[in-house]
Chains A and B, each alone.
Chain A
Amino acid sequence: MKNWQKHLGLLLPVLIIVGIALGVKITGKPATRETFFTVLKAIALASSLNMILGYTGYVSFAHIIFFGLGGYVGFYLISAQGWSLWLAMLAGGMAAGALAFLLGKAILHLRGAYFALATIGVNAAMQAFVTNFEPFGGPIGMNLNFQVYQQYGGAAQALETAFYALAAIALVGVIVSYLIRTSKFGLGLLAIREDEDAAEVMGVVAPSAKTWAYVISAIIPGIIGPLFFFKNGNVEPGDAFPLQSSIELIVMVMLGGQGTVLGPILGATAYQRMRGYLLTSPIFKDIQLSVAGALLLLIVLFVPAGVVGWLRNRFPILRRVLQ
């Protein structure tokens, strides 16, 4: 088999993200760019959640805290310490990774529902902590001095730069997701997902594998957080730690197909587009979250493998392309 054919599964994920970035570049409309900014953010966050949820089999209801914590740390460094956006993103990623490492040591030994419950507590605790943490502005949050955008060629240019930076992160994110999925490390994670005891009997060092999967899955949202709030110009607890976003991310991963590389990308794109439609529709605009809930219910009941998983099972011939 030719070398490039072995990596056919990477083709669609990369094409989708490059396609989005190029499409926005060609149309050149700021409104389109803003729409696809949220799509790319959802793709990157869902792909990162998939590493712990889909590959390792641990349902986390707190994935958004890594986005929130990274965002807060990065935003603080930009606004109060005068760091550049790029260094702040790096710091945000590291802060989120460090939090995941500590959390992993503390709660990743819990199995199944107990882990999921613990993560809900963690989400609430993080929001309460930041709301009361004065250096981060407490309940009001922090604002960015408009002057900061001058370094990035003015506000309009900064928004555009942020979009392409996000596209690059999303691209790296899905490549990392693919590399994990097809690596020995990833095989160990899948074994843990299927039967953790059996995996350990075969020699998979589950405690450390789980922790590292969790750390990697946290770094990506931690990097995106500073970028997102830099673009917004302010950060506050409600925007940084929305519990419903954690749930929406789970819906995206489940919809597209947990445990596959392509699934979260398709799920995030579809969900985000649907959400955009619902929010602007007069009937659904107030109940769009209940649509997410109903969608999750339907997926779990009827297509637990998600769209990509279903296609893979139904048409084995597609497996090499749909990974």
Chain B
Amino acid sequence: MTRTNDIRRINDIRPILQVEGVSKHFGGLVAVDKVTFDLPEGQILGLIGPNGAGKTTLFNVINGVYPATEGRYFFRGKEVTGSKTYQMAHLGLARTHQVVKPLDELSVRENAMVGACFGHKDYNLSHAARVADEVLEFVGLADRSEQLAGSLNVAQKKRLEMARALSAQPYLLLLDEALAGLNPSEITAMLDTIRKIRDRGITIIMIEHVMHAIMNVSEHILVLNFGALIAEGTPEEIANNEQVIEAYLGDPKLAERLMQRNDNGG
């Protein structure tokens, strides 16, 4: 009894994701350079950096799209280095894509059902349909559930990506530019959804270029530049970090303005 309690306590403090010195090279190009970080459960972690900094590549390595050139990573305490994408899905990892990948000829509901059926919950079809309907309601696509996914507009497709990922009821959700291409009111709605997902106990890593949004919603931020981690900390620390301002934001006053919008919006 004490023993199981001990294990439970260890699990509570163990980070959901541990990344140790992960690199990814494409030929001579170092896309991700010895990145190390721990992600505590229940957080929203922001991943920022200029275009080409290696953010999506890092996602792709953790997700199993590419094998890491070096380094190891652990998901929920288990080493998962080199696992395939479907193996990561079975362990409770879900993601959305920067360039949306709807299953065009399937209905919106069927798209979400794929997530529920083949994720780590392994639901049967009728259970998956219930989960899908619930998730579509949550992301605001319930009235489109019979429509073919190919007929949705961009903002709806972004929500569909989110719905498919959530239908899997993952432990960890990777959001790759979920806000890109959305208008300001759509962004506000999406941020609201992202917070609600976190409140459901799902840990989130999000890549984002919409700076005021990510400063606003993340508890912790990592900054990548040329594949390497150059800073990490709370949004305030990042906004005031000189290295980040120099390498990424460029203009120190920009950071102040971003923090202002953060205060207003928060």
Chain A residues at the B interface, C-beta cutoff of 8 Å? 183-184, 187-188, 190-191, 193-195, 197-206, 259, 316
Contact = CB atoms under 8 A, between A and B. Distances in A.
Contacts of B84: 200
A203 B105 contact: no
A84 B124 CA distance: 41
Given A188-B118, A197-B85, A203-B90, 5 more contacts: A190-B106, A194-B103, A201-B95, A202-B118, A202-B164
Given A184-B125, A201-B95, A206 B86 contact: yes
Contacts, number: 77
A199 B63 contact: no
B97 A203 contact: no
Interface string B53-89: 0000000000101000000000000000000111001
B125 A203 contact: no
Interface of B: 63, 65, 84-86, 89-90, 94-95, 97, 101-106, 110, 113-115, 117-120, 124-125, 128, 146, 164, 168
Nearest to B164: A202
B83 to A, nearest CB: 12
B85 A200 contact: yes
Contact of B114 (A183, A199, A205): A199
Nearest to A316: B146
Contacts of A184: 117, 124-125, 128
Interface of A is mostly: helix
Contact of A198 (B101, B124, B146): B101
Given A184-B117, A191-B114, A205 B101 contact: no
B89 A201 contact: yes
B117 A187 contact: yes
Contacts of B119: 202-203
A206 B86 CA distance: 8
Contacts of A259: 105
A183 B90 CA distance: 19
A10 to B, nearest CB: 16
Contacts of A193: 105
Contacts of B86: 200-206
Nearest to B105: A194
A187 B101 contact: no
Contacts of A191: 103, 106, 114, 118
Nearest to A319: B146
16 contacts: A183-B125, A184-B117, A188-B118, A191-B106, A193-B105, A195-B101, A195-B103, A197-B85, A200-B84, A201-B94, A202-B89, A202-B119, A203-B89, A203-B90, A203-B115, A204-B86
Q: 8 smallest A-B Cβ distances: which pairs?
A: A203-B89, A203-B118, A194-B103, A198-B101, A200-B85, A191-B114, A204-B118, A200-B86
Nearest to A195: B101
A304 to B, nearest CB: 11
A197 B110 CA distance: 17
Name the residue among B124, B125, B168 with the largest chain A CB count within 10 angstroms.
Answer: B125
Contacts of B118: 188, 191, 199, 202-205
Contacts of B146: 316
A156 to B, nearest CB: 47
A228 to B, nearest CB: 34
A201 B85 contact: yes
B101 A203 contact: no
Contacts of B113: 187
A272 B164 CA distance: 42
A201 B63 contact: yes
B103 A190 contact: yes
A6 B198 CA distance: 37
Contacts of A203: 86, 89-90, 115, 117-120, 168
Nearest to A309: B105
Given A184-B125, A187-B113, A198 B168 contact: no
B103 A198 contact: yes
A187 B115 contact: no
Nearest to B118: A203
Contact of B97 (A188, A198, A204, A316): A198
B95 to A, nearest CB: 6
A203 B103 CA distance: 14
